[in-house]
Amino acid sequence: MKNNQLFTLLEQSYSRFNTPHFIENDPITIPHRFTKQQDVEIMAFWVAMLAWGNRKSIINSGEKLISLMDGAPHQFITQHHEKDLKRFADFKHRTFNYTDTLYFIEFFKQHYSVANSLETAFSKHLSKKDYTTEKALIGFHDYFFSLEDAPDRTRKHIATPIRNSTCKRLNMFLRWMVRPNTTGVDFGLWKKIKPAQLLMPLDVHVDRKARLLGLLKREKTDWPAVLELTEVLRQFDPTDPVKYDFALFGMGVNQLND
């Protein structure tokens, strides 16, 4: 397929799937239930980190978390008492368990005691000259596990390029927070990171469709593959390459033909 044909296909698919209809069956529906920025950030981050497996089960887990935090995540995080944490004992999502939940709450409480937004946890590791968010992901991982009692088991839930991970869930979370809210899907809350710096959330659907279209050549699905695919997509939109996540994911999950 020629570049002009690929561009047309990607643009048409982006327009088709980047609509409010996308929200209903996607984990992003969870943070969309809030208007307070800190609530949006907390639930967006948490549900993104749980985003593997069936989308319905991810949404169900997000709803359980909202209920356990009395419908007010930021208020609960910053004002809860020790006894309130017992209610999370039975919360699980696949391999995410009580130990992980307690550490997430502890991290959020610590961070929001010194910052108004989760954005600084990522942006402070970037400079305006950084081409991508790679340093932000590495720096955030180190910052997230900087608390004295950080459990080793929780590290599997927060990826880093250092381990050659695709960092799919973190890249998806950053897409939600950074991309402009032009159609009501992504939030566009953060301004210190540019859409041009974002990297593709490389999940199984995006990976498969990108390879079928010849957009991704690398055999392994790893961090270099993320960089490769994002760079290829920059030729179609250098200011917002990750917008094509909608196109590739939508075509992949719906098994559409090119």
pLDDT at 255: 62
Give the Cα separation of 157 and 80 in Å (integer): 24
Of 136, 116, 142, residue with least CA distance to 193: 136
By percentage, how much of the chain surpasses pLDDT 70? 98
pLDDT at 249: 93
Give the Cα separation of 6 and 205 in Å (integer): 17
How much is the pTM? 0.96
**Which structure tokens are listed for 79?**
């004002």
CB neighbourhood size of 32 (10 A): 19
What are the pLDDT digits (tens) for 24-42? 999 999 999 999 999 999 9
CB neighbourhood size of 87 (10 A): 13
pLDDT at 253: 83
**Which structure tokens are listed for 184?**
């009501």
**Which structure tokens are listed for 163?**
């381990």
| Phi-psi category of residue 210: left, alpha or beta, with phi > 0 → left and psi -120 to 50 → alpha | alpha
Contact 200, 230 (CB under 8 A): yes
Axis crossing angle, helix 37-49 with helix 98-112, rounded to the nearest 10: 150
Kind and range of the H or E element at 252?
A: helix 244-253
Kind and range of the H or E element at 4?
A: helix 3-17
164-173 core/surface letters (b: 16 or more CB in 10 A; e: else):
ebbbbbbbbb
pLDDT, block means (10 residues), the chain with 258 residues: 91 95 93 98 98 93 98 98 98 97 98 98 94 98 97 98 98 98 96 97 96 97 98 97 96 65
Q: What is the DSSP letter of 123?
A: H
| CA torsion, ordered 4, 179, 62, 57, to nearest 10 deg | 0
pLDDT at 256: 47
Amino acid (1-letter code) at residue 112: Y
**Which structure tokens are listed for 142?**
């180190």
**Which structure tokens are listed for 1?**
């397929």
Amino acid (1-letter code) at residue 188: G
Amino acid (1-letter code) at residue 69: M
Contact 221, 207 (CB under 8 A): yes
What are the pLDDT digits (tens) for 123-174? 999 998 999 999 999 999 999 999 999 999 999 999 999 999 999 999 999 9
